[in-house]
Amino acid sequence: MTVVTRFAPSPTGFLHVGGARTALFNWLYARHAKGKFLLRIEDTDRARSTEEAVQAIFDGLEWLDLSHDGEVVFQSEGAERHAALAHQLLEAGKAYRCWCTPEELSEMREQARAEGQRMLYDRRWRDRDPAEAPTDVAPVIRFKAPVEGETVVEDLVQGAVRVANAQLDDMILLRSDGTPTYMLSVVADDHDMGVTHAIRGDDHLTNAARQTQLFLALGWQPPAYAHIPLIHGADGAKLSKRHGALAVSAYAEMGILAEAMCNYLLRLGWSHSDDEIISRQQAVEWFELDAIGRSPARFDMERLSSLNGIYIRQAEDGELLSLLNPHLSRLLEQEPDPALMPRLERLLPSLKTRAKNLIEMVENAQFLFLQTPLVLDEIAVKILNPESQEIISELLIELEKLGSWEEESLELAVRGFADSRSLKMGKVAQPLRASLTGKTVSPGIFDVMIALGREESLGRLGDIAARVS
Ligand code: GLU
């Protein structure tokens, strides 16, 4: 059997963290089993589905590098086929027309509420003679669900999930305007697309029982289900907006690497012994559904950040530079000058060692791209008082004499200069940093000098020295 999985988002908002994890698990399982991973956009709710949301799903999957096989299926395009199935069930006596009026339904709802119950349709048209149907009500088609016994979903994560059939009512398959309901469309599509494994959030567990009944009524085999516990916030409550960003695109904007995000999502609910850093290739090799946990995983930004730092340190320089580029452009409000990119490349080893995300990296590198003379920030202005300006102008003379512009010679020169004037290293390094970067916080001072290069460094120091009267 070829394994076929699918990701079936409803395009009613951005691609959120939970959806991304569902997509990842389906993708991994398909790749692991050398099967297929299909994408279905569940756009049957025309009022709530938007083009932007569809695009956000495509963009999110592309960012995470989760490519699907075959054409994208748009659920709405199958409406006719789905409606035909409802009629097929009707003819087979497995569905029936219901002429309940909205008033009758709200009465049922009211009564259920008064009794503190969930509303279940009371099946009043199930056995009633259609000859009694009112002429001014357009009927819906309802599923003739089993009344007794139970429906068992053999879930690959949750185990056998038993639902008493008395808990499930006769759901609508076809609305009075002839449009199929979501539940019917999902079953029809999962069958038609040959889905063998449906991996999704456990908020769909009750649906799975209803869908199983419908599969069986249609004479089809339901897919194997794997319902994954939802993601919770650090406080243990279901992940929601108040926990911070939910859209995967927001993490891209925060400078999280896609590989780090995938690694993090993978570990949210799935484990392989104590492994934390798991490459895509290893994940494909190891991913089994029985290693999905049964309790909700907690989303923890700190852990994502530290994982991201690890991925940044592992990344190749060339790749990192191209990832940094759009963030840099945004920060500088223009494309960085390509002639200055070697500066960034030289600073990369130092930037890498401390960064938790790409934004921090470009912020720490911004000084490389600034126009001179630099505009100093407030504290840098304070540091560069007349006394410090004097120190810089004297240090400049020493540095100009240097034959080589390398960490060792620079350090020797700066320390030697400080010693010769009985100054503490900080007394020299602080004004030096302020002169070179315009700020008081920066990567290591010698890394800064090397990244800027000899000419630019001396030029920036010269700008400060020129202030000495
Ligand atoms: N469209 C559903 C959702 O976005 C998923 C349905 C399914 O996976 O069966 O929650």
- Please give the average per-residue pLDDT across 94-120, as a whole number: 95
User: pLDDT confidence of 395, banded at 50, 70, 90?
Assistant: very high
Can the peptide bond before residue 336 be classed as cis, meaning omega within 30 degrees of 0? no
Residue 468 in this model has a pLDDT that exceeds 90: no
Of 34, 36, 241, 427, the catalytic one is 241
pLDDT at 241: 81
Cite the beta strand spans of 203-333 per DSSP E: 224-228, 231-232, 297-298
Q: What tens digit of pLDDT does each residue of 367-394 get?
A: 999 999 999 999 999 999 999 999 999 9
User: pLDDT confidence of 78, banded at 50, 70, 90?
Assistant: very high
- Could you confirm whether 241 is annotated as catalytic? yes
Q: What whole-number distance in Å separates Cα of residue 239 and Cα of residue 16? A: 10
Does residue 200's CB lie within 6 angstroms of at least one atom of ligand 1?
A: yes
- Please give the average per-residue pLDDT across 83-106, as a whole number: 97
What are residue 238's phi and psi, to 5 degrees? -50, 135
Q: What tens digit of pLDDT does each residue of 220-230 get?
A: 999 999 999 99
% residues pLDDT > 70 (the chain): 100
- Please give the average per-residue pLDDT across 348-374, as a whole number: 97
Does residue 206's CB lie within 6 angstroms of at least one atom of ligand 1?
A: no
Does residue 175's CB lie within 6 angstroms of at least one atom of ligand 1?
A: no
User: pLDDT confidence of 240, banded at 50, 70, 90?
Assistant: confident
Does residue 57's CB lie within 6 angstroms of at least one atom of ligand 1?
A: no
Q: Are 212 and 153 in contact (CB under 8 A)?
A: yes
Q: Are 252 and 63 in contact (CB under 8 A)?
A: yes
User: pLDDT confidence of 352, banded at 50, 70, 90?
Assistant: very high
Nearest residue to 132 via CA among 161, 107, 96: 96
Q: What tens digit of pLDDT does each residue of 16-33 get?
A: 999 999 999 999 999 999
Does residue 186's CB lie within 6 angstroms of at least one atom of ligand 1?
A: yes
- b/e 200-210 (16+ beta carbons within 10 angstroms → b): bebebbebbbb
pLDDT, mean over the chain: 96
pLDDT at 59: 97
Q: What tens digit of pLDDT does each residue of 409-455 get?
A: 999 999 999 999 999 999 999 999 999 999 999 999 999 999 999 99
pLDDT at 453: 98
Length reported for the chain: 469
- What is the 9 CA–ligand 1 centroid distance (Å)? 5
Residue 319 in this model has a pLDDT that exceeds 90: yes
Nearest residue to 312 via CA among 368, 360, 352: 352
% residues pLDDT > 90 (the chain): 95
pLDDT at 357: 98
pLDDT at 354: 87
Q: What tens digit of pLDDT does each residue of 23-64 get?
A: 999 999 999 999 999 999 999 988 999 999 999 999 999 999
- What is the 162 CA–ligand 1 centroid distance (Å)? 21
- What is the 154 CA–ligand 1 centroid distance (Å)? 19
Q: What whole-number distance in Å separates Cα of residue 188 and Cα of residue 180? A: 10
pLDDT at 46: 87
pLDDT at 463: 98
pLDDT at 435: 98
- What is the 11 CA–ligand 1 centroid distance (Å)? 10
Helix axes 317-332, 341-354, angle to 10 degrees: 100
User: pLDDT confidence of 166, banded at 50, 70, 90?
Assistant: very high
Residue 272 in this model has a pLDDT that exceeds 80: yes
Residue 245 in this model has a pLDDT that exceeds 90: no
Q: What whole-number distance in Å separates Cα of residue 215 and Cα of residue 197? A: 14
Residue 268 token pair? 């949210």
Does residue 204's CB lie within 6 angstroms of at least one atom of ligand 1?
A: yes
- Please give the average per-residue pLDDT across 258-277, as a whole number: 96
Q: Which amino acid is located at 191 in the chain?
A: H
Residue 234 in this model has a pLDDT that exceeds 90: no
Does residue 214's CB lie within 6 angstroms of at least one atom of ligand 1?
A: no
Residue 469 in this model has a pLDDT that exceeds 80: no
Pocket perturbation via mutation, ligand 1, pick of 4, 7, 10 by most ligand atoms within 8 A of CB? 10
Pocket perturbation via mutation, ligand 1, pick of 5, 42, 228, 230 by most ligand atoms within 8 A of CB? 42
